[in-house]
Chain A
């Protein structure tokens, strides 16, 4: 029982990270209909920059978080300039290929700038404090991750549902031409969505690195897991993305824990990536709008 609870805690913590990455995918997708393949690279960059500032340059946590978020914000601004502006009227294939190219570029740069060892990490924000919860252990860092993510989701909720900027962004998602006509500054909204999703990715990277470590090559994996979470919940809505992330995290950690017992040793924990990718493919084919969607199948390109 305590084992089960432990897996659940790990799963929820991981799921929060996936949800953060997924909301980044979703923000860009909703406004521009582009899946940003470089989203995972922003997670990686966030983690690596924090390692650089905190672990190697020994800068104060608070200041370095602000510096990292600034850098990522500027980077995603540039990213938007080079992705969206020249390819406004290109076919989808070109846009996809371009974001892929940009993600290799970021990966290549960080391979040179940062270090090549896998699993680098920086010191925890807090001292290693444990709480016992019915036999399972929850660390302060886990609680921090969960609380931060929930806070961010609340902020995004306020931003998207209540503030006038968010309403304008949602209008862009529905119909770009119409929102141009009624006087919404569409390019600004597009830029905004890119910057916010880049920063969200970076936050995910910053808070997960002390727990799991980060290396220059893991960007693709974070990206694909975040994307799976957004497809699992449904890319169109905030709540379902949070739920999708948590479900994915729980699934992953339960498979890591019980996978080999259920399948008589066939599914050892190393195959959890295989499982998640299979899940992604099946979801994409059967329920591309998420398991919570009521509208039924709707084709999207």
Chain B
């Protein structure tokens, strides 16, 4: 009995997250809130990957939306019947993930030789390259993108829909969060493994890391490939749940917003990725909500336009006042609280 209680105490974080994920769709079961939850799930995966790259290894990528879009475009083109042949989604997903990961491995070779500013500019250029290719592919609809990508069902469309009675939102929710939990578990393990410690050493000082026998180039390429793998998985889920892609989903602003989420959440822990994503996605939707609310009183303001401004403002505020992000704030509060407890004990 004691063992079980100890186990629960140790894993209280994970268990409470599990329960939260179970309960959420029951409470918020309207289509809109399910859509928000799914969006949070998908973007969390990208941000989780970027968090490994930025927080753990201290590199930066301003072109992750390009990788995100690449896998979405590949699986979309293969499975939506825009080419001469149509593949079932399960096969196109595997093809998309493998092509994207291999390609990002090849990209990582030259690009991660760069450091600091040059790395940021190089990856920004990579993002622009991907975006302009998407926008100019005539067989993929150019600027308008394309739709008719088949939806991904849990156990086949008929069985899931009619027999289990799971609608498309719940179906998406289950798949996305199942994948998210796996990715979270993987990145948690990376964080606590030898590889993760090597990444941290590279973050602190590349020269020191290399004198300790860490192959800096190898590990940098590895972390970029892992984070691209996460992003590729998010990309295929995006394509198969929104059933359509447009180039503007993968623009530079998107890349920058991913970076914003990582920074706002905090780079010191992988929980920061989740918190940052939830925070920014909710801000986006709350702007939409405010706009709807105001239009009821005949005040027509285009508040959604404020989203880029809000990103920038939050970014600056967080960087100046909370350099460790929201997670850092939590850590500070916990520290203060512990100090208080210790002080109380001493007083007694």
A positions within 8 Å CB-CB of B: 34-35, 37, 82, 86-87, 90-94, 96-98, 100-109, 111-112, 116, 220-221, 224, 227, 268, 270-271, 273-274, 277-278, 280-281, 284-285, 288, 299-301
A-B contact list, 24 entries, CB within 8 Å:
A82-B316, A90-B323, A93-B54, A94-B319, A97-B259, A97-B263, A97-B315, A100-B62, A100-B259, A101-B263, A104-B311, A108-B307, A108-B313, A111-B305, A112-B305, A221-B128, A224-B121, A268-B136, A278-B129, A281-B111, A284-B121, A285-B110, A285-B113, A301-B117
Give the A-B pair count, Cβ closer than 8 A. Answer: 130
CB of A96 within 8 A of CB of B125, answer no
Task: Kindly list chain A residues whose C-beta atoms are within 8 Å of the C-beta of B136.
Answer: 268, 270-271
Contacts A102-B316, A104-B312, A107-B312; is A35 near B121 (CB within 8 Å)? Answer: yes
CB of B118 within 8 A of CB of A288, answer yes
Q: CB of B93 within 8 A of chain A?
A: no
CB closest chain-A residue, reference B204: A91
CB of B320 within 8 A of CB of A108, answer no
Mark contacts of B113-142 with chain A using CB atoms, 8 A cut-off: 1 yes-contact digit, 0 otherwise.
Answer: 111111011101110110011011000000
CB of A104 within 8 A of CB of B128, answer no
Contacts A82-B320, A277-B126; is A96 near B306 (CB within 8 Å)? Answer: no
The B interface is mostly helix, strand or loop, or mixed, namely helix
Q: CB of B20 within 8 A of chain A?
A: no
Nearest Cβ in chain A — how far from B58, in angstroms? 6
CA A25 – CA B117 in complex, angstroms? 12
Task: Kindly list chain A residues whose C-beta atoms are within 8 Å of the C-beta of B305.
Answer: 111-112, 116
CB of B132 within 8 A of CB of A105, answer no
Q: CB of B256 within 8 A of chain A?
A: yes
Task: Kindly list chain A residues whose C-beta atoms are within 8 Å of the C-beta of B126.
Answer: 277, 281
CA A19 – CA B121 in complex, angstroms? 18
Q: CB of B310 within 8 A of chain A?
A: yes
Nearest Cβ in chain B — how far from A215, in angstroms? 14
Contacts A93-B116, A104-B312; is A273 near B121 (CB within 8 Å)? Answer: no
CB closest chain-A residue, reference B256: A104
Chain B interfacial residues counted at CB < 8 A = 44
- The 9 A-B pairs at the shortest CB distance, nearest first, are namely A105-B312, A108-B309, A101-B315, A108-B308, A277-B125, A104-B312, A35-B117, A92-B116, A301-B116
Q: CB of B252 within 8 A of chain A?
A: yes
Nearest Cβ in chain B — how far from A99, in angstroms? 9
Q: CB of B46 within 8 A of chain A?
A: no
CA A108 – CA B308 in complex, angstroms? 5
Task: Kindly list chain B residues whose C-beta atoms are within 8 Å of the C-beta of A288.
Answer: 114, 118
Residues of B76-128 contacting chain A, CB below 8 A:
110-111, 113-118, 120-122, 124-126, 128
Additional 20 contacts, C-beta under 8 A, given A87-B319, A104-B312, A108-B307: A82-B320, A97-B60, A100-B256, A104-B260, A104-B308, A107-B308, A107-B312, A108-B309, A111-B308, A220-B124, A221-B128, A224-B125, A274-B128, A274-B129, A277-B125, A280-B121, A280-B125, A281-B110, A284-B121, A285-B111
Nearest Cβ in chain A — how far from B275, in angstroms? 17
Contacts A107-B312, A108-B309, A274-B133; is A281 near B115 (CB within 8 Å)? Answer: no
B positions within 8 Å CB-CB of A: 54, 58, 60, 62, 110-111, 113-118, 120-122, 124-126, 128-129, 132-133, 135-136, 252-253, 256, 259-260, 263, 305-313, 315-316, 319-320, 323
Task: Kindly list chain B residues whose C-beta atoms are within 8 Å of the C-beta of A100.
Answer: 62, 120, 256, 259, 315
CB of B306 within 8 A of CB of A97, answer no
CA A106 – CA B256 in complex, angstroms? 14
Nearest Cβ in chain B — how far from A103, in angstroms? 8
Nearest Cβ in chain B — how far from A298, in angstroms? 12
- Which has the most chain B C-beta neighbours within 10 Å: A98, A221, A284? A284
Task: Kindly list chain A residues whose C-beta atoms are within 8 Å of the C-beta of B311.
Answer: 104, 108
CB of A98 within 8 A of CB of B316, answer yes
Nearest Cβ in chain B — how far from A92, in angstroms? 4
Task: Kindly list chain A residues whose C-beta atoms are within 8 Å of the C-beta of B312.
Answer: 101-109
CA A271 – CA B113 in complex, angstroms? 26
CA A227 – CA B125 in complex, angstroms? 11
- Which has the most chain B C-beta neighbours within 10 Å: A280, A281, A300? A281
CB closest chain-B residue, reference A106: B312
CB of A105 within 8 A of CB of B315, answer yes
Contacts A93-B116, A301-B116, A301-B117; is A111 near B129 (CB within 8 Å)? Answer: no
Nearest Cβ in chain A — how far from B301, in angstroms? 10
CA A92 – CA B58 in complex, angstroms? 10
CA A102 – CA B314 in complex, angstroms? 10
Task: Kindly list chain B residues whose C-beta atoms are within 8 Å of the C-beta of A224.
Answer: 121, 124-125, 128
Nearest Cβ in chain B — how far from A113, in angstroms? 10
CB of A108 within 8 A of CB of B316, answer no
CA A301 – CA B121 in complex, angstroms? 12
CA A87 – CA B323 in complex, angstroms? 10
CA A82 – CA B312 in complex, angstroms? 13
CA A268 – CA B136 in complex, angstroms? 10
CB of A284 within 8 A of CB of B122, answer yes
Contact of A98 among B113, B306, B310, B319 (CB under 8 A): B319
Nearest Cβ in chain A — how far from B211, in angstroms? 17
